[in-house]
């Protein structure tokens, strides 16, 4: 009697195997982008963690610190529209590589600038470079992902960037503390750590160099101003909420390291650890964004997580225990930033090909304007009220409430229109499929 044939070996079905399969299924350009984005995320964590503490240790007052920190937002604001023109005429991979090289130079030189105006200027230059990099991302991912994979890829891109920032924040705090102890000067230790972060964008440039460039659409080469005027209503729907949310964010977030230092005595290492932990929660939120979009939609999902972060700002405003402030710090970051991939994905869906770079530039300009106003206003308020950070956080709550409400009011009707059009298109394709047209003449 013949033995039954042995069962054929099945490929591994564990989580690691599934994750590897999804990774390999991505466009090679998207994979290289994610690697480069990881190095850029780690680099950006250094000034985010250390710059305000470095300036404070150097004897700068709160208004001066707010002025220097606002330089990045000014650079982003100045770069937004030129970046749209640049991306319309150059291949996206070259733009990403050039922006990474420029970021390396800016970070290496930043802490050695003499005086607040020189610091402001180089911080603005780094903001200019980051704006070009940032505006290139969403159209790049949208073009190189299948429609079914876009929600996953947008969330994954944010998560990879943010998880790398976890490592960057941990490394920044420890490197600054270690170098400060070795040099017997905490300020010089922070300066050296900030300067060494310029090595990370060089690795990102290497990853971007291997991407096969894809030119922008021909329609993107048309004159910019007529396209902006023709779609000004659509662009305005996205710009106003971002402006309000940007002011609210810029009012408080740049000063959170100083808040933890002034109110609870946290040093650079502890601030770096807390920033790293917040990045982990943000990454969890980014990876959960496709699930949120599936159940709430892109617009309502983004507004929901923005509104859910507000109670934790109130906790930060009045917390007197370090553990409570730390918990609120972490949960606020995880919730608020989950909105980013949802908002980016919807903005790319809602805008026609050829307008996406412009739309991303307008949105970045609005957010950047908020981050110009917010740090300047926040530094001035702290100087006037004796470093009472609760005033900043209450102001942020007001702007977040109005900004999330504006998103629902202006963008939810547009999302309903797109959903109706998608259902009509699917119904039309279904009725015209061979199984439905067989026997018809």
User: For the segment 292-344, what is each residue's pLDDT rounded down to a tens digit?
Assistant: 888 888 899 999 999 999 999 999 999 989 999 999 998 988 888 888 888 88
Residue 401: give its domain's CATH number.
Answer: 1.20.1250.20
pLDDT grade for 441, boundaries at 50, 70 and 90: very low
Is 13 inside a domain boundary?
no
* Spatial separation of the C-alpha atoms in residues 42 and 165, rounded to whole Å: 4
Q: What does the pLDDT read at residue 401?
A: 94
Least confident range of 82-96, 320-334, 337-351, 359-373: 82-96
Question: How far from 223 is each of 77, 88, 230, 241, CA to CA, in Å?
Answer: 20, 10, 12, 26
Tell me the HSE value of 382 on the side-chain side, using a 13 A CA sphere: 26
Tell me the HSE value of 64 on the side-chain side, using a 13 A CA sphere: 14
Q: What six digits make up the tokens of 333? A: 């970051």
Please give the share of the chain, as a percent, with pLDDT higher than 70.
Answer: 82
Q: Is there a contact between 272 and 172 (Cβ–Cβ < 8 Å)?
A: yes
Residue 302's SS3 state is: helix
Q: Is there a contact between 74 and 126 (Cβ–Cβ < 8 Å)?
A: no
pLDDT grade for 20, boundaries at 50, 70 and 90: low
Rg (CA), the chain: 23
Residue with structure tokens 């994610």?
Answer: 34
Q: What does the pLDDT read at residue 433?
A: 53
Instruction: Name 436's Cβ contacts closer than 8 Å, sequence gap at least 6.
Output: 430
Is 15 inside a domain boundary?
no
* Spatial separation of the C-alpha atoms in residues 317 and 328, rounded to whole Å: 10
Q: Which structural domain range is residue 368 located in?
A: 27-213+223-420
Question: Mean pLDDT over residues 346-356, rounded?
Answer: 78
Q: What six digits make up the tokens of 368? A: 């950047």
Q: Is there a contact between 225 and 379 (Cβ–Cβ < 8 Å)?
A: no
* Spatial separation of the C-alpha atoms in residues 190 and 227, rounded to whole Å: 46
Most confident of 129-138, 401-410, 428-437: 401-410
- Which of 213, 89, 210 has its CA nearest to residue 143? 213
Question: Mean pLDDT over residues 89-105, rounded?
Answer: 80
* Spatial separation of the C-alpha atoms in residues 95 and 376, rounded to whole Å: 31
Q: Is there a contact between 298 and 343 (Cβ–Cβ < 8 Å)?
A: yes
Statement: residue 397 has pLDDT above 90: yes
Q: What six digits make up the tokens of 45? A: 């964590």
Residue with structure tokens 């460039």?
Answer: 213
- Which of 135, 140, 141, 138 has its CA nearest to residue 82? 135
* Spatial separation of the C-alpha atoms in residues 318 and 329, rounded to whole Å: 12
* Spatial separation of the C-alpha atoms in residues 422 and 417, rounded to whole Å: 9
CA angle 281, 287, 291 (to 5 degrees): 120
Q: What six digits make up the tokens of 119? A: 């610091």
Question: How far from 257 is each of 14, 210, 343, CA to CA, in Å?
Answer: 40, 37, 27
Is 433 inside a domain boundary?
no
Q: Give the residue with greater pLDDT, 20 vs 272.
A: 272
Statement: residue 243 has pLDDT above 50: yes
Q: What six digits make up the tokens of 281? A: 């929660």
pLDDT grade for 26, boundaries at 50, 70 and 90: low
Averaged confidence pLDDT in the chain? 81
Is 251 inside a domain boundary?
yes
Is 441 inside a domain boundary?
no
Q: Is there a contact between 67 and 374 (Cβ–Cβ < 8 Å)?
A: no
* Spatial separation of the C-alpha atoms in residues 249 and 384, rounded to whole Å: 20
Question: Mean pLDDT over residues 49-70, rounded?
Answer: 86
Residue length of the chain: 441
Q: How many domains are contained in the chain? A: 1
Reported as a single tens digit per residue, the pLDDT across 38-56 is 898 889 889 888 888 889 8
Least confident range of 175-189, 214-228, 229-243: 214-228
Question: What are the φ and ψ backbone dihedral angles of 386, each rounded to 5 degrees?
Answer: 70, 40
Q: What does the pLDDT read at residue 400?
A: 93
Statement: residue 244 has pLDDT above 90: yes
Statement: residue 238 has pLDDT above 70: yes
Statement: residue 12 has pLDDT above 80: no
Is 325 inside a domain boundary?
yes
pLDDT grade for 18, boundaries at 50, 70 and 90: low
Is 5 inside a domain boundary?
no
Q: Which secondary-structure segment (H or E) carries 113?
A: none
Q: What does the pLDDT read at residue 425?
A: 67
Q: What six digits make up the tokens of 155? A: 């969330």
Residue 216's SS3 state is: coil
Reported as a single tens digit per residue, the pLDDT across 378-392 is 888 888 888 889 999
Name the DSSP letter for residue 311.
Answer: H
Is 20 inside a domain boundary?
no
Neighbours of 327 (CB within 10 A): 15
Statement: residue 440 has pLDDT above 50: no
Question: How far from 21 is each of 14, 99, 148, 192, 315, CA to CA, in Å?
Answer: 11, 31, 16, 41, 42
Statement: residue 438 has pLDDT above 50: no
* Spatial separation of the C-alpha atoms in residues 47 and 40, rounded to whole Å: 12
* Spatial separation of the C-alpha atoms in residues 102 and 208, rounded to whole Å: 13
Q: Is there a contact between 64 and 115 (Cβ–Cβ < 8 Å)?
A: no
pLDDT grade for 210, boundaries at 50, 70 and 90: confident
Q: What does the pLDDT read at residue 437?
A: 46
């Amino acid at each position: 009697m013949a033995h039954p044939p042995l069962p054929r070996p099945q490929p591994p079905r564990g989580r690691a195997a599934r994750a590897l399969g999804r990774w390999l299924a991505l466009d090679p350009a998207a994979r290289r982008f994610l690697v480069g984005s990881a190095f850029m995320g780690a680099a950006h964590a250094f000034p985010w963690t250390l710059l305000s503490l470095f300036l404070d240790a150097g004897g700068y007052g709160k208004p001066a610190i707010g002025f220097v920190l606002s330089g990045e937002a000014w650079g982003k604001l100045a770069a937004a529209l030129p970046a749209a023109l640049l991306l319309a005429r150059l291949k996206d991979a070259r733009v990403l590589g050039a922006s990474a090289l420029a970021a390396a130079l800016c970070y290496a030189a930043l802490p050695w600038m003499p005086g607040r105006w020189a610091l402001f200027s180089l911080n603005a230059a780094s903001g200019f470079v980051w704006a070009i990099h940032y505006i290139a991302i969403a159209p790049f991912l949208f073009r190189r992902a299948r429609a079914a994979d876009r929600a996953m890829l947008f969330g994954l891109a944010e998560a990879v960037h943010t998880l790398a920032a976890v490592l960057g924040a941990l490394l920044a705090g420890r490197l600054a503390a270690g170098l400060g102890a070795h040099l017997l000067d905490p300020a010089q230790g922070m300066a050296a750590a900030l300067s060494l972060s310029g090595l990370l964008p060089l690795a990102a440039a290497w990853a971007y160099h291997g991407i096969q460039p894809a030119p922008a659409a021909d329609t993107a080469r048309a004159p910019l101003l007529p396209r902006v005027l023709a779609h000004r209503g659509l662009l305005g729907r996205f710009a106003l909420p971002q402006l309000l949310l940007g002011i609210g964010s810029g009012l408080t977030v740049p000063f959170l390291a100083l808040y933890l230092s002034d109110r609870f005595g946290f040093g650079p290492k502890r601030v770096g650890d807390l920033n790293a932990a917040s990045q982990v929660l943000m990454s969890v939120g980014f990876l959960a964004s496709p699930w949120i979009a599936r159940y709430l939609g892109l617009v309502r999902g983004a507004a929901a997580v923005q509104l859910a972060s507000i109670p934790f700002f109130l906790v930060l405003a009045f917390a007197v225990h370090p553990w409570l402030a730390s918990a609120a710090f972490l949960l606020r970051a995880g919730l608020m930033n989950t909105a980013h991939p949802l908002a980016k994905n919807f903005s790319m869906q809602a805008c026609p090909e050829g307008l996406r770079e412009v739309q991303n530039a307008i949105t970045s300009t609005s957010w950047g304007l908020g981050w110009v106003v917010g740090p300047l206003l926040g530094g001035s308020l702290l100087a006037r009220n004796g470093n009472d950070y609760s005033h900043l956080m209450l102001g942020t709550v007001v702007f977040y409430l109005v900004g999330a409400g504006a998103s629902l009011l202006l963008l939810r009707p547009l999302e309903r229109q797109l959903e109706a059009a998608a259902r009509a298109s699917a119904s039309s394709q279904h009725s015209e499929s061979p199984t439905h047209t067989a026997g018809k003449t």
